[in-house]
């Protein structure tokens, strides 16, 4: 199976995905907020929409980066360097500004259908420029510019991202109310997640930037 990365690369990727999954962002705010305000079905639908968006991003990124790699390995390497700098900026931003997560319960907003919640999850994922930038710069870090199977590996990594995130996020939705209460009672939990995110992605960025002269 040429599309499967080596074990060390895959292990590093899984660690990064786990950190990303537990770091609050637009997607998490949406599907947990839906679960708290409108119930678990709405939360699950919003999550399904967000994960659908992630798969679409994966396919588009794989096709685009494969074309870039075919045109110029130098351009692909430059993209990886830019991506490393972007990961480093994300690490700094996580420490400086923290995670923005609002899970206020309430009944003021009108209830949406499951289809509407799915569509909103898809839209938030597809239209968020930070998510687009993240996929474009994150996935290439785990593929070599000289790898003839780069496209297959990019798609495999994207599917792995969804396979890991889906069950973990579903558990968050099931316990959304308790999670919301815990985060309100202890802001230190959120700051610990911020520092974990910053540490992992800062380490990735430093390793990537010092890998070659």
pLDDT band with cut points at 50, 70 and 90 for residue 41: very high
Residue range 120-166, pLDDT digits in tens: 999 988 887 777 777 887 887 788 777 788 888 888 998 999 999 99
pLDDT band with cut points at 50, 70 and 90 for residue 184: low
Which is more confidently placed, 109 or 28?
A: 28
CA angle 178, 179, 185 (to 5 degrees): 90
Q: Does the pLDDT of residue 6 top 80, yes or no?
A: yes
Enumerate the H helices of 72-149 as residue ranges. 73-97, 114-127, 129-138
pLDDT at 101: 57
Alpha carbon 82 to chain centroid, angstroms = 18
pLDDT at 103: 55
pLDDT at 69: 67
User: CA–CA distance from 24 to each of 42, 51, 70, 211 (Å)?
Assistant: 18, 15, 35, 30
Give DSSP secondary structure letters for 141-192: GGS-TT-TTHHHHHHHHHHHHHHHHHHHHHHHHHTHHHHHHHHHH-HHHHHH
Collapsed DSSP state (helix, strand, coil) of residue 106: coil
Query: Can you tell me the mean pLDDT for 85-100?
Result: 74
Cα–Cα distance measured from residue 30 to residue 43, given in angstroms and rounded to the nearest whole number: 8
């Amino acid at each position: 199976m040429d599309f499967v990365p080596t074990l060390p690369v895959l292990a590093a990727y899984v660690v990064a995905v786990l950190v990303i999954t537990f770091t609050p962002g637009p997607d998490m705010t949406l599907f947990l907020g839906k679960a708290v305000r409108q119930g678990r079905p709405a939360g699950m639908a919003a999550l399904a929409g967000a994960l659908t968006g992630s798969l679409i991003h994966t396919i588009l990124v794989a096709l685009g980066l494969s074309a870039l790699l075919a045109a110029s390995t130098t351009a692909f390497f430059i993209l990886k360097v830019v991506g490393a700098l972007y990961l480093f900026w994300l690490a700094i931003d996580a420490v400086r500004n923290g995670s923005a997560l609002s899970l206020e319960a309430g009944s003021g907003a009108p209830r949406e259908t499951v289809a509407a919640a799915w569509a909103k999850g898809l839209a938030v994922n597809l239209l968020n420029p930070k998510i687009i930038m993240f996929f474009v710069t994150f996935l290439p870090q785990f593929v070599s510019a000289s790898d003839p199977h780069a496209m297959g590996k990019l798609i495999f990594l994207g599917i792995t991202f969804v396979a890991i995130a889906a069950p973990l996020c579903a558990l968050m939705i099931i316990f959304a109310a308790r999670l919301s209460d815990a985060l309100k009672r202890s802001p230190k939990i959120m700051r610990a997640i911020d520092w974990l995110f910053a540490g992992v992605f800062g380490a990735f960025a430093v390793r990537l930037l010092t890998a070659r002269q």
